[in-house]
Structure 1
Amino acid sequence: MKINWGWGIVIAFIGFISFILYFVIKVSTNDAYEHDLVVEEYYKQELKLNGQIEAEQNVLPFKKDIVVEEIAGDLRIKMPKDKVSELAKGTLLMYRPSNKKLDFTLPFQLKNGEMFVPKEKLVGGIWSVIIEWEENNKNYRFKKELHL
């Protein structure tokens, strides 16, 4: 049987579609490729958005005074002592956009206006540091992206 242009185009399309389907099936069934949501229960987090915006606005007057830096591998968070007291209660979320398995939460506890995150918990790459605390019946939220 002789293959003409029409059959050649049909065979090329079938080959291309088979090639694409092979990779779609391979990626969707292989556990090595993660395709999870960036954030679990994003609808619930969307409902909290107005409160988060208000909390972030509460931080604006002293946001530039908050220092997040890497010192000897550890992450140091320095808060202005006149704006944030040692008694502030809250959480520190270290959020890794590329891998949710690396995310972790620590209680927000200041000593001499500083808090340290040990280097054993940190892997090189892009992190979002999210600090949420309450003080004097007012919520605060600080967020900073950093590359370690």
Structure 2
Amino acid sequence: MKFNWGTGIVIAFIAFMSFILYFVVIMSKNRNDHHLVTEDYYQQELEFQHDIDKLNNAKNLEENLRWQKTDSGMLISFPENLETQKIAGNIELYRPSNKHLDYKAAIELTDHTVLIPNDRLLEGRWDIRIDWTYNNTSYLYKQQIVY
């Protein structure tokens, strides 16, 4: 059999079709758990304007929340000029790489700080979301950090 340009085109065409067919078979077999970042994604999307309002309320505070890494864990400090009894809400730490490491707790203050122990946190990227109220005004603190 003589190899000419017509034979080369046919071989190239067959090779391309084989690659595409291989790719389709591999992708159809690869059924990983593809899911949304959060379980209630659509509900959160509907509440997005409320989050914007809460963020604006937090920006209008004299002093916003702060966090710092200490030897015992992550220390979250609330503004000193607020009464701790009137502060309520939730702290959520979201780990993008592993949802089993996510942390959620209610805010319980005795002074103006909350400590999240080191055994709950691994080094790496975290998304902090603190949704809290003071005197019936809602506030939101969101930040991506590397702990």
Distance in 2 separating the partners of 1:84 and 1:36 = 41
After TM superposition, the structure 1 = structure 2 runs for residues 1-12 of structure 1, keeping only pairs within 5 Å, are 4-12=7-15
Residue identity matched to 2:27: V
Larger gyration radius, structure 1 or structure 2: 2
State the identity as a percent. 28
Contact kept? 1:127, 1:147, Cα under 8 Å: yes
- In structure 1, the gaps of 5 or more residues are none
Q: Secondary structure at the match of 2:96?
A: coil
- Deviation of 1:90 after TM superposition, in Å, equals 0.6
Cα distance per residue 1:107-129 (max 9 Å; x no partner): 11223211011111112221111
| TM-score, normalised with respect to structure 2 | 0.84
| TM-score, normalised with respect to structure 1 | 0.83
Aligned length: 144
Residue identity matched to 1:7: V
Measured at CA, do residues 26 and 44 of structure 1 come closer, stay the same or move farther in structure 2, by a change above 3 Å? same
Tell me the equivalent position of 2:20: 17
- In structure 2, the gaps of 5 or more residues are none
Q: Tell me which of 20, 27, 31 is aligned to 2:30.
A: 27
Answer with 59-68 or 116-125: which moved more: 59-68
Question: Please, what is the CA RMSD of the aligned residues?
Answer: 2.2
Answer with 64-73 or 51-60: which moved more: 64-73
Contact kept? 1:129, 1:144, Cα under 8 Å: yes
- Deviation of 1:81 after TM superposition, in Å, equals 1.5
